[in-house]
Structure formats: C-alpha cells, structure tokens
C-alpha cells in the first residue's frame, strides 16, 4: 500500500504520515458558526476532510472523524437580536441547512458533530487548568490567555510578535495585560446567553470551544487537525497554545495535534469572496442550479492547498466531464456494481501524495478512455476499477438515466441508440470531422431527435 504523505503546516513540509495509535486515526476539522447560509468557501474544509477520511479508511482499520458546530458566538447573538429569532431556533435552522448542503455535495457526516453549548462544563474545566498552570488571568470579569507564558506561540502560523498583533485594533481593551492576549471567558449581561462559572455569568471564547470539544471526543494528542488557511491565525495558534498550556505541556508542540492541514481560499473570478464586494456564493443557491456532484467535482479539481477560482467556466467543465462519464455508463447493460474491487492503485497513489485530487481525477479519466477502447473481459475489469475509484472520490453516485434525465421518456433500447449516436457525433466533432458529424445529425433528425450544442455538451429532445 502506498505511503500517505501530507503537508504539515506545523513543519512547513510534506511528511510521511504515521498515526499515533496503530491502526486508529483521529481527525478533527473546525466546523461552521451557524447563523447564516454557508458559502461555497465553507464547503472546502469538510470536503477536504471527506476525501482524507475516505482515503484513511482504505489505509487503516479505524478512523474517527470529528467536526464541531459553533452554536454560541457574538455573531449569533447579534443575528438573533436583528432577526428577532431565538438563538436555539436560529442555530438549529442553519445547522440543518449546512448538514443538508454537505450531504448534497456527497460529504459523509462526521462520526461526532459536537455542539459548543453541550460542552460548556469541559470548557470551564480547561480554563481552570489554564489559570492553575499560570497561563491565564482574570481581569474585569474576563479570563484571558497570557500569550507570553507560551514561548512557542507563533510557531504554527510562523508569525513573530509584531505580526501577531498585525490587524488587531489599535485601541487595546482595558482588561488585557498584553495586546496579544486572547479571551477564554467573557461576561454576559442578563439578556445575553450565558452560564454560571467560577468567574461569574458568562460565555466561552471561540478558540476554546475547539480545544475542549476535540479533547472530549478524540482525546489528545490526536493525529490530524484541519481547516481553512484563514484559521491558522489566530484560531489554530490559540487552540494549540490553550491545549498545551492546560496540560502543562508547553515544550511539546505536538501535544495537541500531530499534523495540521490547511486548505487554500476560494476566489471568485480572481477576487476574494466578501460581503463588501457582494460576491458571496451560497451553497444553497448553487444547489438550486447545479447537481451537488458537479459542485463537488469543481472543488476537487484544484489541489486543496491552492487557491480555488470559482467561475461559471469551471462549473460547466465539471458538468461536461460528468455528463460524458454518465453517458458512457448509460451504454452499459445491467447494473454496475460499485465496490466489488479495491480502488485503482494509481488513484490511491495520487491521493496519498498530499491528497492530489486533480491527479486522481485525471487517472479516472484515463481509465474511462481505456474502457472505451477495451474489449470483452478487460472492459468489465476496467469498469469495476472505474466505479470503485469514482466511489473513493465520491463521484458517479447516481443512476446514469437519472443523471441524464431520460427516465420514462422513451423505450430504453431507443434511448441507448440515441446516446450512442450522440457520443459518436461528439467524437467526430472533436476530430473536426464535420462530414461524419453532420451525417449523424441527419440520422438523429430522421429518428425525430433534435439536438442542441451548448458549452455543457450536447443536449437533445424528441420532437
Ligand atoms: Zn476550531
């Protein structure tokens, strides 16, 4: 079996992966703050984890995957007031939409999806440990982490002390001893949500939530912590400092998680997606227009560490590729079994190279080409490999006739004939053999079929 190699943000290099516990790999990915629809950028971290977990399951006996829900946060409180909706109702609604969106993208649900509000006691325990160990102090009803007590602070993000402060407000809150210190617990008013604690009625800081929930569900250290590059600083840097500090392990930077994976951001026609530019693309809206599998393929077509440019063109390309694959599958008689054989070695090998999904998709395309030229037994073997490889990538999950939208319209024998002609015509057009492609068009017209060539490929209907 191929050796899995992953780019570790903690060491800034690709490393051989070896699990802490033999044959049981533990993965944690920061989940969403649920107060609005998730945008397409929010889909990338869980999709990267989905591919990672699918691959790990091929390589190891047991995998536990955890991704949280942040259901207490200042943005949630503000939205609840603004929309006059109780917090629990607001967060439950968007948690459900998020999970349904990911399901439509073919992302499997985590083994555990802890909610922050169910882990307040664990957070209080961790803050107490930090205070006892001298890493946290109490000031004006707040509890703060004292960054200077953790000398390795900055190692994950590679920021020095000045850069750590970059972007923070010029005016430093009066309760902070040092501008770099961050909140572990803050006071709530009687109108705000809160919990009783040794430091008064209040609520946790965001960074602390992940430290408490990952420890509760996976134990520390665990193997892989992942999330978007935008979380490296300060969120992940702070998680790391808190978890090491709470356990008195400030010298061991691997005490919390051994490998840190970070995905690149999504750009929108070259621009950053942002509220101010008004170019935010919500998954929910995209799913009204496109099949989730098309969106999944767009996201997998760029390596996870690279920025991904979201464009209409990339959606159409993915649509076209899947249409072609489904059209090929449609020609096959009988049910196609999905996981009869192990996934092709070349696809596993590509994914083992730091989750190189573009390479893996390329290999899948090659198998499809080979399939079209193969005969007899070899054809069957290639088909099993294709289906198993596609299943590993979470693609080709639908019935070809459903994908192509051809149920109940025509007799299936006639449908296959039409599909065959369209595929032949596509081939001739690609070869610029217009004489043959026109001849096929005439044949189709004679059969009462009208065709239309679009950027997504050829569409047809019975006249
Ligand atoms: Zn987190």
Query: DSSP letters of 155-200?
Result: TTTT--HHHHHTTS-SSPPTT-SSTT-EEEEEE--TTS--B--TT-
Are residues 166 and 51 both part of a single domain? yes
Are residues 343 and 239 both part of a single domain? no
Q: For strand 13-16 and strand 5-8, is the pairing parallel, antiparallel, or unpaired?
A: antiparallel
Within a domain: 280: no
| Residue 170: predicted pLDDT | 57
Q: Read out DSSP for 50-94?
A: HHHHHHHHHHSSEEEEEE-BB---HHHHHHHHHHT--HHHHHHHH
Taking the centre of ligand 1 as the mean of its atom positions, its distance from the CA of residue 228, in whole angstroms, is 10
The domain boundary residue, chosen from 230, 263, 296: 263
| Residue 335: predicted pLDDT | 61
Are residues 65 and 202 both part of a single domain? yes
Taking the centre of ligand 1 as the mean of its atom positions, its distance from the CA of residue 135, in whole angstroms, is 20
| Residue 411: predicted pLDDT | 66
Within a domain: 68: yes
Number of domains, the chain: 2
Are residues 174 and 323 both part of a single domain? no
| Residue 190: predicted pLDDT | 93
Are residues 52 and 194 both part of a single domain? yes
Taking the centre of ligand 1 as the mean of its atom positions, its distance from the CA of residue 173, in whole angstroms, is 24
Within a domain: 26: yes
* CATH number of the domain residue 169 falls in: 3.40.50.620
| Residue 450: predicted pLDDT | 80
User: Residue 252: helix, strand or coil by DSSP?
Assistant: coil
pLDDT in tens, the chain (463 residues): 799 999 999 999 999 999 999 999 999 999 999 999 999 999 999 999 999 999 999 999 999 999 999 999 999 999 999 999 999 999 999 999 999 999 999 999 999 999 999 999 999 999 999 999 999 999 999 999 999 999 999 999 998 877 777 555 557 889 999 999 999 999 999 999 999 999 999 999 999 999 999 999 999 999 999 999 999 999 999 999 999 999 999 999 999 999 999 999 999 877 887 778 888 899 999 999 999 999 999 999 999 999 999 999 999 999 999 999 999 998 886 666 655 689 999 999 999 999 999 999 999 999 999 999 998 889 989 999 999 999 999 999 998 888 887 755 566 667 788 888 888 998 898 899 999 999 999 888 888 788 888 776 787 777 6
Q: Residue 64 is part of which domain span?
A: 5-263
Within a domain: 194: yes
User: Residue 347: helix, strand or coil by DSSP?
Assistant: helix
Within a domain: 270: no
The domain boundary residue, chosen from 263, 279, 296: 263
Taking the centre of ligand 1 as the mean of its atom positions, its distance from the CA of residue 68, in whole angstroms, is 8
Taking the centre of ligand 1 as the mean of its atom positions, its distance from the CA of residue 231, in whole angstroms, is 8
Look at the block and give the residue holding tokens 């996976």: 218
Are residues 254 and 363 both part of a single domain? no
Residues counted in the chain = 463
Within a domain: 80: yes
Residues 6+ apart with CB under 8 A from 39: 273, 280, 281, 282, 283
Taking the centre of ligand 1 as the mean of its atom positions, its distance from the CA of residue 45, in whole angstroms, is 12
Taking the centre of ligand 1 as the mean of its atom positions, its distance from the CA of residue 211, in whole angstroms, is 7
Q: Which phi and psi (to 5°) does residue 222 adopt?
A: -115, 175
DSSP secondary structure code for residue 340 in this structure: S
Within a domain: 147: yes
Q: Which phi and psi (to 5°) does residue 460 adopt?
A: -145, 160
Are residues 240 and 133 both part of a single domain? yes
Calpha distance 436→428 (Å, rounded): 6
Of 84, 413, 366, 73, nearest in space to 235 by CA: 73
Are residues 332 and 451 both part of a single domain? yes
Q: Which phi and psi (to 5°) does residue 219 adopt?
A: 80, 160
Q: For strand 142-145 and strand 182-187, is the pairing parallel, antiparallel, or unpaired?
A: antiparallel
Calpha distance 96→102 (Å, rounded): 10
Within a domain: 294: no
Are residues 38 and 181 both part of a single domain? yes
Cβ 70 vs Cβ 4: under 8 Å: no
Residues 6+ apart with CB under 8 A from 422: 327, 444, 451, 458, 460
Look at the block and give the residue holding tokens 């009803």: 141
Taking the centre of ligand 1 as the mean of its atom positions, its distance from the CA of residue 213, in whole angstroms, is 9
Are residues 164 and 26 both part of a single domain? yes
The domain boundary residue, chosen from 205, 228, 263: 263
Residue 160: strand pairing partners: none
Taking the centre of ligand 1 as the mean of its atom positions, its distance from the CA of residue 261, in whole angstroms, is 12
Burial of 208-231, coded b for 16+ CB within 10 Å and e otherwise, reads bbbbbbbbbbbebbbbbbbbbbeb
Are residues 238 and 331 both part of a single domain? no
Are residues 242 and 353 both part of a single domain? no
Look at the block and give the residue holding tokens 């010298």: 251
């Amino acid at each position: 079996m191929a050796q899995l190699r992953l780019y570790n943000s903690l060491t800034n290099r690709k490393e051989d992966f070896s699990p802490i516990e033999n044959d049981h790999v533990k993965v944690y990915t920061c989940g969403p703050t649920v107060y609005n629809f998730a945008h397409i950028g929010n889909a990338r971290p869980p999709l990267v984890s989905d591919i990672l977990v699918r691959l790990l399951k091929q390589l190891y006996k047991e995998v536990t995957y955890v991704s949280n829900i942040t259901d207490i946060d200042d943005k949630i409180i503000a939205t609840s007031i603004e929309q006059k909706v109780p917090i629990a109702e607001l967060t439950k609604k968007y948690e459900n939409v998020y999970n349904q969106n990911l399901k439509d993208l073919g992302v499997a649900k985590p083994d555990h999806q802890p909610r922050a509000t169910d882990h307040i006691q664990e957070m209080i325990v961790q803050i107490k440990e930090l205070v006892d160990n001298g890493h946290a102090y109490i000031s004006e009803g707040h509890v703060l982490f004292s960054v200077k007590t953790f000398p390795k602070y900055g190692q994950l993000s590679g920021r020095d002390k000045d850069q750590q402060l970059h972007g923070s407000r010029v005016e430093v809150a009066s309760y902070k001893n040092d501008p770099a210190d961050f909140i572990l617990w803050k006071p709530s008013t009687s109108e705000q949500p809160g919990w009783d604690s040794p430091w008064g009625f209040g609520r946790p800081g965001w960074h602390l939530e992940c430290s408490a929930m990952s420890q509760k569900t996976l134990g520390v250290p665990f193997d892989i912590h992942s999330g978007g590059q935008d979380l490296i600083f300060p969120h992940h840097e702070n998680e790391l400092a808190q978890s090491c500090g709470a356990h008195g392990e400030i010298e061991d930077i691997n005490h919390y998680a051994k490998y840190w994976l970070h995905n690149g951001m999504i750009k929108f026609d070259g621009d950053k997606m942002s509220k101010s530019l008004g170019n935010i693309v919500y998954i929910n809206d995209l799913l009204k227009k496109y099949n989730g599998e098309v969106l999944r393929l767009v996201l997998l077509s760029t390596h996870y560490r690279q920025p991904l440019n979201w464009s209409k063109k990339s959606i159409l390309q993915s649509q076209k590729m899947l249409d072609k694959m489904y059209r090929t599958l449609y020609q096959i008689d009988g049910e196609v079994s999905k996981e009869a054989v192990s996934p092709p070695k070349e696809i596993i090998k590509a994914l083992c190279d730091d989750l190189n999904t573009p390479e893996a998709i390329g290999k899948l395309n090659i198998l499809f080409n080979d399939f079209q030229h193969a005969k007899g037994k070899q054809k069957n073997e290639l088909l099993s490999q294709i289906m198993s490889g596609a299943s590993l990538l979470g693609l080709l999950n639908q019935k070809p006739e459903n994908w192509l939208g051809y149920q109940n319209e025509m007799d299936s024998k006639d449908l296959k004939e039409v599909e065959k002609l369209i595929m032949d015509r596509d081939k001739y057009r690609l070869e610029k053999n217009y004489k043959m492609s026109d001849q096929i068009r005439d044949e189709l017209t004679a059969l009462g079929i009208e065709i239309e060539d679009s950027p997504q490929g050829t569409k047809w209907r019975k006249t």
